[in-house]
Amino acid sequence: MPVVRIDAPSALPENRLKALADAVHSGLVTAMNVPPSDRFQIINRHDAATLLIDPAYPGVSRTAEAVIVAVALRAGRTDEQKPAFYKAVVAQAERVGGFKRDDILIALSENTLIDWSFGRGEVFPPPGN
């Protein structure tokens, strides 16, 4: 049940953003066991004044095409699944979208089932299920 937010420079072409979004979803499916139909993504474009990304922290070399991928998801993934997810996303984004490996920052935020409502103002899944 992840929700993905991708923040990218406004100059990044739409086809490359789509390739990144596909890479993120594919990584969630393959590395984190997310169902293929569980795709909720928000893509935001920013000018240079509203997307501030340090070009070198911590010891990487980012370009003006750097993006931030923030993923909110239910807790429970292992310490092995998370790096596998990062590697899968970056490899596919590099191969299909032409991204530079250092240009993709990924941040995970975990929560529990009580933190989700997919509609009707109800907890998902309902308590007791």
Active site residues: 2
Please name every residue paired with 46 in a beta bridge, in sequence order, or none if there are none. Answer: 9
Distance CA 118, CA 129 (A): 15
Beta strand segments in the chain, E:
3-9, 41-46, 67-74, 104-111
Distance CA 119, CA 47 (A): 33
> 29 CB contacts (<8 Å, ≥6 apart)?
35, 36
Q: Are 56 and 114 in contact (CB under 8 A)?
A: no
Q: Are 21 and 69 in contact (CB under 8 A)?
A: no
